[in-house]
């Protein structure tokens, strides 16, 4: 039986390959290849959701999935700032100060089984990092994991999370630099404005967006107005169309009735 505080020689070899490969990750598709390549040797999975706080403390969520069942709608529900799964897992992680592991066969208690099944996740291995203030700095949530949910998995999460978040931060910084030097306007649209535009793209009204994000309708209007000003457009539909053209948003889920 393995000591849960030590790595075997084979595990050390896997870890070394993962860390060395992470040094070559500079772009989003590199990151995808890394987490679905070398990192699979320790945490075989199909879905990775991860997030990192920006300079204002706003948590930017990302997904890297090879699962065709996990759709945009599932992702938006998982990262919902109110009753989303990530918010709940973050709260539980901060209380426990250790990885949160929920295997499929353990999910019957607390209603987890139905919830994880409904979200197409099946199981969850979650871990986070926090600032000295206690505010969350970043997290990683692996799902459809194909190893036992035990102390070994918790150890892998604890070792790998700092490297994963540093690698993700490098990718996001490179993207921001490339966009600022390329076709994005000088006044960059903020993550919160992108989030508002995402819900506009999905056909939500300002009232609905305010309820989803836990903001006032006036705040939502201000975010949308600021985004439209930066994108140099006059309507919300034009803002969505231009944000997609500039690479801020994916076209997936865009409703046909949004005016161009």
How many Å apart are CA 89 and CA 96, to the nearest integer?
A: 10
| Least trusted range by pLDDT, from 28-37, 132-141, 154-163, 168-177 | 168-177
| Least trusted range by pLDDT, from 18-22, 105-109, 135-139, 166-170 | 105-109
Nearest to 250 by CA among 177, 198, 187, 185: 198
Tokens representing 224 are 């949308």
How many Å apart are CA 98 and CA 125, to the nearest integer?
A: 11
Q: At a CB cut-off of 8 Å and minimum separation 6, what does 209 contact? A: 196, 199, 200, 215, 220
Q: What percent of the chain has pLDDT over 90?
A: 51
Interval 17-29 mean pLDDT: 94
Cα angle 51, 48, 136 (rounded to 5 degrees) comes to 25
* 39: pLDDT strictly greater than 60: yes
More confident residue, 201 or 120: 120
Say what the pLDDT of residue 191 is.
84
CB contact burial 148-161 (16+ within 10 A = b; e otherwise): ebeebbbbbbebbb
Nearest to 157 by CA among 124, 126, 122: 126
- Chain segment 142-185, per-residue pLDDT in tens: 999 999 999 999 999 999 999 999 999 998 888 777 766 654 44
How many Å apart are CA 131 and CA 53, to the nearest integer?
A: 10
Half-sphere exposure in the Cβ direction for 42 (13 Å, CA): 29
Say what the pLDDT of residue 144 is.
96
The residue count for the chain? 260
Say what the pLDDT of residue 245 is.
67
CATH architecture of 9-180: 2-Layer Sandwich (3.30)
Domain residue ranges of the chain, discontinuous segments joined by +? 9-180, 191-246
* Maximum average pLDDT range among 15-19, 54-58, 170-174: 15-19
* 253: pLDDT strictly greater than 60: no
Measure CA 227 to chain center. Answer: 22
* 8: pLDDT strictly greater than 80: yes
First to last CA, the chain: 62
* 102: pLDDT strictly greater than 80: yes
Q: Do domains 9-180 and 191-246 have the same CATH topology?
A: no
Say what the pLDDT of residue 27 is.
87
- Chain segment 179-201, per-residue pLDDT in tens: 666 544 445 788 888 889 989 98
Report whether 159 contacts 140 (CB < 8 A).
no
Topology of domain 191-246 in CATH is Arc Repressor Mutant, subunit A (1.10.10)
Percentages helix, strand, coil for the chain (3-state, rounded to 5) are 50, 10, 35
The 3-class SS string of 108-160 reads CHHHHHHHHHHCCCCCEEEEEEECCCCCEEEEEEEECCCCCCCHHHHHHHHHH
Say what the pLDDT of residue 108 is.
56
Report whether 90 contacts 84 (CB < 8 A).
no
How many Å apart are CA 225 and CA 228, to the nearest integer?
A: 5
Q: Please give the sequence-ordered ranges of beta strands (E in DSSP) within the chain, or none if there are none.
A: 47-53, 59-65, 100-102, 124-130, 136-143
What is the value of pTM for the model shown? Answer: 0.71
């Amino acid at each position: 039986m393995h000591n849960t505080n030590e790595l075997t020689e084979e595990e050390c070899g896997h870890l070394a390959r993962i860390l060395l490969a992470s040094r070559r990750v500079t772009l989003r598709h590199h990151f995808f290849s890394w987490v679905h390549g070398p990192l699979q040797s320790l945490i075989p999975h199909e879905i990775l959701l991860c997030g990192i706080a920006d300079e204002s403390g706003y948590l930017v969520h990302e997904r890297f999935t090879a699962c065709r069942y996990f759709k945009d709608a599932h992702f938006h529900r998982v990262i919902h700032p109110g009753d989303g799964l990530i918010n709940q897992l973050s709260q539980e992680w901060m209380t426990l100060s250790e990885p949160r592991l929920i295997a499929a066969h353990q999910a019957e208690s607390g209603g987890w089984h139905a919830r994880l099944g409904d979200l197409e996740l099946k199981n969850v291995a979650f871990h986070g990092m926090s600032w000295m203030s206690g505010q969350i700095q970043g997290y990683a949530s692996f799902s459809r994991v194909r190893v036992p949910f035990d102390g070994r998995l918790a150890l892998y999460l604890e070792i790998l999370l700092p490297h994963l978040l540093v690698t993700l931060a490098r990718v996001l910084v490179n993207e921001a630099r490339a966009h600022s030097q390329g076709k994005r306007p000088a006044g960059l649209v903020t993550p919160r404005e992108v989030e508002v535009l995402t819900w506009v793209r999905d056909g939500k009204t300002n009232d609905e967006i305010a309820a989803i994000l836990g903001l006032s309708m006036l705040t939502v209007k201000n975010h949308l107005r600021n985004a439209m000003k930066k994108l140099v457009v006059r309507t919300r539909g034009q803002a969505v169309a231009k944000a997609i053209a500039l690479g801020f948003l994916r076209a997936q889920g865009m409703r046909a009735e949004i005016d161009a």
